[in-house]
Structure formats: C-alpha cells, structure tokens
Amino acid sequence: MKTIELTQGYRAMVDDADYVALSAYSWRVSICKYGCYAIRTQLASEATSRAERKTVYMHRAIMPDCPDGGVVHHVDDNGLNNQRKNLEYANRLENWRYYAESKTSENTEPVPF
C-alpha cells in the first residue's frame, strides 16, 4: 500500500500496482457531506475551455468499468481508501443503504479524515 498526497494535508491510500499511474497526476481532496474523495481535473483537449473540463474521481479511475447506473462503493466508508480490496461495484440504492447503515450503526465509529 502506498499513499498519494492530496491538498489540505490529506492522503489517499492506493495499491502498489496503481501507484505509478495515479501519481502521474496532481490530485486534490474533495470534501462533501458524504465524506472525502480524491479528485483531479481532466481536460478534454488542449483548448482548456471550462466546458471541456471533467472531474475524475480516483476510485473511478481505478475501477473504470462500472456498469451503467452503478457506483464504486468504498467498503470501509473511507473515500480516501482507494485500495482495490476496499472498492466494489454497487447500484445507487445499494450504495445509499450502505451509507445509511454506517451512519445509524451503534458499533460504527466515524471515518477519520
């Protein structure tokens, strides 16, 4: 396991096999009500107009073949743990249930950011 430095002092955890490809980019942290995620901006072409920019999530870069309507779910609910053993495909309803269960479970401690 290796870590990739993000902005604001955060780090993303990745497998050794993914590290070289991912570390070629500059990643930053995105903090939202569901947690923290590693993201970067991808330009569609050299013309850099705002309309051509796209947000790329690290977990989607690691698992790009997500079925239509599906999401990449973080098993341990830590959006910065992008090791393959922690990522799985889920549909949106399953992902929402996992999230809701983790927030209501008495035995679950908050994810450290």
Give the residue, 109 or 38, on which the prediction is more confident.
38
- Cα 102 to chain centroid distance, Å, stands at 17
Q: What's the pTM value of the predicted model, to 2 decimals? A: 0.80
Which pLDDT tens digit goes with each residue over 44-103?
765 556 667 899 999 999 999 988 889 999 999 999 999 999 999 988 777 777 677 776
Say yes or no to pLDDT of 112 above 60. Answer: no
| Residue 28 near residue 80, CB atoms below 8 Å | no
Identify the pLDDT of residue 105.
62
CA dist 113 and 110 (Å) reads 9
Residue 91: strand pairing partners: 70
Instruction: Indicate the pairing of strand 87-91 with strand 70-74.
Output: antiparallel
Domains of the chain, each with CATH number or no CATH: 2-104 (3.90.75)
Backbone angles phi, psi at 68, to 5 degrees: -55, 135
Number of other CB atoms surrounding residue 101 within 10 Å: 11
Close Cβ partners of 28 (under 8 Å, ≥ 6 residues apart):
6, 7, 8, 38, 39, 40
